[in-house]
Amino acid sequence: MPDEKRDGKKIAVLVSGFGSNLQAILDAASKGQLTGTEVALVVSNRREAYGIQRAIDHGVPVVYFPLAPYTRAGRPRQEYDAALAAILRALAIEWVVMAGWMHVFGPAFLDHFPQRVVNLHPALPGAFPGTQAIARAYEAFQRGEIDGTGVMVHLVPDEGVDVGPVVRQEKVPIHPDDSLDDLKTRIHKVEHRLLVEALQQLGVARESFS
């Protein structure tokens, strides 16, 4: 494949909140660590998500696409998934990165991007799926059930929650004197690096050696 074809592979980053992982991707791109990738779109399902501002600051187009109007109108969830997929496809998006995105997609979305949807989970494979994974790991540690936690980046093959082929995973220790905020900070630091490494490993991007 000629290099020009690989250059500018368009990705969409989906956020629901603070957007620090989006920022890690944007920073890596600015530093030349995601060569061949263009962050072509950010999608937020929440109007107040700070990730929207991060995208604007970086000059990346943003779509605010909430689920609530669909739910209120009694429209099936698949319609939301299909509509969002249509927006991304119209913009020639090739890869989708769920970076703190709080919806689970079904086939109406995923079938448009087979093996091309990446999710970040702040725990190890099989551990603490769903929301509040860091807090639940912290509590499990307090109860003596686990001695550490981790981060994983995986592909999203179906509507399973935080499951799918693992691209990268890394253990993160929990120390006895950690506060929950200490653990969150440690995990987010690993997430920001691991997500970028996963995109490089998947061939979505390549590290610049210049």
Site of interaction with ligand GRF (CB under 6 A): 15, 17-21, 99-100, 120-122, 191
For residues 49 and 22, give the distance between their C-alpha atoms in angstroms, rounded to a whole number. Answer: 12
**Which one of 121, 154, 175, 188 is the catalytic residue?**
121
Choice between 6 and 178, CB closer to ligand GRF: 178
3-state secondary structure of 64: strand
Residue position matching structure tokens 């494979």: 125
121 counts as catalytic:
yes
For residues 13 and 61, give the distance between their C-alpha atoms in angstroms, rounded to a whole number. Answer: 11
Question: Where do the H-state alpha helices sit in 11-76?
Answer: 20-30, 50-58, 68-72
Maximum C-alpha span of the chain: 54
Minimum CB distance to ligand GRF, residue 80 (Å)? 19
Q: Which residue is nearest to ligand GRF (CB)?
A: 100
Minimum CB distance to ligand GRF, residue 72 (Å)? 25
In terms of C-beta density within 10 A (0-12 exposed, 13-18 middle, 19 or more buried), how is residue 151 classed? buried
Choice between 7 and 182, CB closer to ligand GRF: 182
Minimum CB distance to ligand GRF, residue 15 (Å)? 6
Choice between 6 and 136, CB closer to ligand GRF: 136
Q: Which residues are catalytic?
A: 121
